[in-house]
Amino acid sequence: MAKMWQGRFKKELDSKVNDFNSSISFDSRMYKDDIIGSIVHVNMLGKQGIIPLKDSKAIAKELTRILDDIESGKVQFAPDAEDIHMFIEAELTERLGDVGKRLHTARSRNDQVAVDLRMYLKGEIDTIIGLIKKLIAVLVEKAEENLHTVMPGYTHLQRAQPITFAHHLMAYVEMFKRDMVRFFNCFSLMNECPLGSGALATTTYPIDRDYTAEYLGFDNAMLNSLDGVSDRDYCMELANAIAICMVHMSRLSEEVVLWCSWEFKFIELDDAYSTGSSIMPQKKNPDICELIRGKTGRTIGNLTTLLSMMKSLPLAYNKDMQEDKEAIFDSVDTIKLCLSTLAPMLDTMKVNKDKMLEAGKRGFINATDCADYLVKKGMPFRDAYKITGTLVALCIDKDTVLDSLPIEEYKKLSPLFDSDVYEAISLKTCVEGRNAVGGPAPERVKQHIQKIKDTVLKEENEKD
């Protein structure tokens, strides 16, 4: 393919260098944004009298045809084209001749690529937010079904205090809710239009940047052209939001891996969302979770790639920045894949409430409540703590639990103990008693769920 910039050069570009330089293999996915960007640009050129109105109309019309032809498969991307921007302009010129050559007036690929990428990523952010909402909806539904499903809460992966499965799931809802806010913020920060920045210093043509910003769906035109072409904060920010959300998914995946092990058996994954072993006939593996956990690594890597790529770049555009796309596209593809697999996997999992309760009954997760029982009868917490510790050690010796230890044993350690201690340390009491804001008491969690339904999920229903 002939180069648009060939005038200054006496030799053809070395073919290996052409491949090295080319980005069409990964930036062709922005074809639609590129064409829409060009249509609005050329409409502006016509409106401003920068090129003849009839030419701008002809160009806009042909660009629409090119879009249709790409989408119907009639036009295929040339693998040796330098990038998607050059490819579409070349296709236009081939079709319209001299008229097509007017498109690139008052524009550079530097502002073109910046506007295309912002438009493309804005669309992807919308998709990601939609997928997170779906995941939250699944988690909320599961939480509703498990408001009273007692399980041990853990610290250091040691059984710690009683919670419910609903409370545990709603913790993730909060994380994903924050992720949504991060994506919204990222969207609004990137919602400024770099088109018109030109190569770096705008242009001497009387362009109308407010017009192009508005018609391309941006809040405003960027206020500094050097920044317009050299800013990639939106890539770093999006990669960051994606990496954090992936970390959340990875932590949940890790828990699911644990929960469906024979050691826990808290849940069972649906056959459609697990895999078998090639050799061990008994195996049912949580591959999806492991892949999400594994893929989180590459999204963290992509963020590092972008930060390192940008950290020493002088203003304004540098070709290094072409490296932004593979990194951010990979993060976008990865998170979309993970979100859309995780949600149905969780939706179809079976919760073994009995196993969770059984685990809750062993491990002395009501020990804090036993100490609190004494505190509520007037004993200082530290003394109550020590007595309860002694009771726990006694239970371990006798291979029993606090709930089954005879009252005489309790009384030996403190006269404050009475038979109402059993009620006080029952898991039901322990969970229901934790009804402070944020606590596992079913009433509290129910309120939390309602709040999520009225806010995060409400918008979803309205959109549908």
Q: Does 35 bind ligand ARG (CB under 6 A)?
A: no
109 vs 434, beta carbon nearer ligand ARG:
109
Q: Does 352 bind ligand ARG (CB under 6 A)?
A: no
Catalytic position from the list 25, 188, 261, 277: 277
Tokens for 105, please give them. 């007036």
Catalytic position from the list 156, 278, 312, 419: 156
Q: Is 152 helix (H, G, I), strand (E, B) or coil?
A: strand
Q: What are phi and psi of 206, to 5 degrees?
A: -80, 65
d(CA 461, CA 464): 5
Query: Binding ligand ARG by CB under 6 A: which of 67, 99, 113, 370?
Result: 113
- CA dihedral of residues 263, 268, 272, 278 (deg, nearest 10): 20
Q: Does 250 bind ligand ARG (CB under 6 A)?
A: no
d(CA 134, CA 457): 9
Query: Binding ligand ARG by CB under 6 A: which of 41, 102, 104, 109?
Result: 109
Subset of residues 48 to 87 that bind ligand ARG, contact rule: CB under 6 A: 83
Q: Does 110 bind ligand ARG (CB under 6 A)?
A: yes
Instruction: Compute the residue count for the chain.
Output: 464
Distance (Å) of CA 233 to CA 63, 166, 240, 310: 30, 37, 10, 9
Subset of residues 276 to 335 that bind ligand ARG, contact rule: CB under 6 A: 317, 319, 321-322
Q: Does 38 bind ligand ARG (CB under 6 A)?
A: no
Subset of residues 405 to 434 that bind ligand ARG, contact rule: CB under 6 A: none
Q: Does 182 bind ligand ARG (CB under 6 A)?
A: no
Tokens for 412, please give them. 């030996």
Minimum Å gap between C-beta 109 and ligand ARG is 4
3 vs 178, beta carbon nearer ligand ARG:
3
Q: Among this protein's residues, is 426 annotated catalytic?
A: no
Q: Among this protein's residues, is 156 annotated catalytic?
A: yes
d(CA 247, CA 218): 30
Closest by CA to 430, choosing from 355, 373, 377, 385, is 373
d(CA 24, CA 326): 11
23 vs 161, beta carbon nearer ligand ARG:
23
Binding residues for ligand ARG (CB under 6 A)? 23, 27, 83, 109-110, 113, 317, 319, 321-322
List the catalytic residues: 156, 277
